[in-house]
Amino acid sequence: MDSRVTLLKEFYGGLPADRVKVETYEHGFPFLDQLLMSGVALEYGEIAAAGLLHKFKLSGVTEEAMDALLLSHIGKTRNVCLYFGEKVNSLFCYNLDNNHKTNNTELIPEMQCTVTLLRDILIGLGCEPLVIASGRGYHLWCRLEAPVDNQQLYEFMLRTMARAFLGLHQQGYDHNKIKANFYPDPRAHNTVSLRLFGSDHAKNKVFSRILSRDGLLDEDASWNAFEHHLREKTISIVAFHDAYASLLASI
């Protein structure tokens, strides 16, 4: 087994592994026969025009099938996206995107400021995130040592994002230029999935590089940073609850 697949399975091990969304340019009945191996079921498919990305939601995914999908993910032939648990999760993620209507693939100054502010806020609370470039924005992943109720996770993200937007406003930027979504979202646990680290972005074909204090890391350094975060930056439940209590007391 490729060591990168092992790392992905460990890092995202708190998410349900029996269902997955696959993004790919592949299509056709022979492809579906390959995709639906080992009893995997197709819940839906979004088939786009020629040359565009197709999306397939699969359920009943076995460990063997997941291993094969993750190999294709790191091989950059398909993107694997996972869903969040219905009630509790040990991972949560801020999805920050450019909210421009005309060019939503551009990294705008407001985005750079927001991700810096939010990272600093989370570090100050003892909940350091893993920041991954995602096309027009960033995903900030926090990994907990044990599951926490989804509503509490959502409120934590909402309050920390409010702090970041306040800081953005104080620096003279417009927070309306940033679109922020929080996962798990108690309203959409089974309809929204997020792409895993370790592949190319579907649209711009750029690897999901990790953002360090000094800038974006290259692919090899990103994998090293991913493993380091897994080993050294997983958040204890005590630290999370202390951070949550601090937010409740101040906002």
Domain boundary among 50, 83, 116: 83
| pLDDT exceeds 70 at position 105 | no
Distances in whole angstroms, Cα of residue 177 to Cα of each of 97, 128, 202: 9, 24, 23
Of 65, 83, 101, which closes a domain?
83
Q: Which of 59, 83, 107 is the last residue of a domain?
A: 83
Q: State the greatest distance between any 2 C-alpha atoms of the chain, in Å, as a whole number.
A: 57
Same domain membership, residue 246 and residue 225: yes
Q: Which has the closest alpha carbon to 118: 163, 152, 176, 78?
A: 163
Note whether 69 and 92 are same-domain residues: no
- Answer yes or no: do 64 and 93 share one domain: no
Q: pLDDT, tens digit, for every residue of 135-159?
A: 779 999 999 999 999 999 999 999 9
The mean pLDDT value for 9-33 works out to 87
Same domain, 121 and 173: yes
The answer to whether the beta carbons of residues 119 and 131 sit under 8 Å apart is yes
On whether both 197 and 112 belong to a single domain, the answer is: yes
Q: What is the pLDDT of residue 98?
A: 86
Q: What is the pLDDT of residue 1?
A: 78
Residue 26 in tokens: 């592949």
Q: pLDDT value at position 88?
A: 96
Q: Please state whether beta strands 54-59 and 41-46 pair in parallel, antiparallel, or not at all (unpaired).
A: antiparallel
| Strands 178-183 vs 54-59: parallel, antiparallel or unpaired | unpaired
Asked if 237 and 202 sit in the same domain, the reply is yes
Dist. CA 83–CA 216, nearest whole Å: 26
Statement to judge: residues 174 and 148 lie in one domain: yes
Residues whose CB is less than 8 angstroms from the CB of residue 73 and which lie 6 or more positions away in sequence, other chains included: 8, 79, 80, 196, 198, 199
Query: Domain containing 150 — which CATH number?
Result: 3.30.70.3300
Rounded to an integer, the average pLDDT of 84-93 is 96
One domain for residues 76 and 92: no
The C-alpha atoms of residue 102 and residue 169 are separated, in whole angstroms, by: 22
Q: What's this model's pTM, rounded to 2 decimal places?
A: 0.92
Output 75 or 201, whichever has higher pLDDT.
75
How crowded is residue 103: how many other Cβ atoms within 10 Å of its Cβ? 9
Write the DSSP string, 1-64: --HHHHHHHHHTTTS-SSEEEEEES--SHHHHHHHTGGG-EEEEEE--STTS-EEEEEES--HH
Q: What domain count does the chain have?
A: 2
Residues 101, 76 share a domain? no
Q: Pull the structure tokens for residue 47.
A: 């088939």
Residue 133 domain boundaries: 88-250
The answer, yes or no, to whether the previous bond of 184 is cis (omega within 30 of 0) is yes
SS3 of 102, please?
A: coil
Whether the per-residue pLDDT at 198 is higher than 70: the answer is yes
Six token digits for residue 218: 């290259």
User: Are residues 216 and 178 part of one domain?
Assistant: yes
- 234/125 same-domain check: yes
CATH (domain of 72): 3.30.70
Kindly give the residue spans of alpha helices, DSSP state H, lying in 61-199.
63-74, 109-124, 150-170
Q: Do 60 and 94 lie in a common domain?
A: no
Looking at per-residue pLDDT, the higher value among 37 and 10 belongs to: 10
Q: Please tell me the total number of residues recorded for the chain in this structure.
A: 251
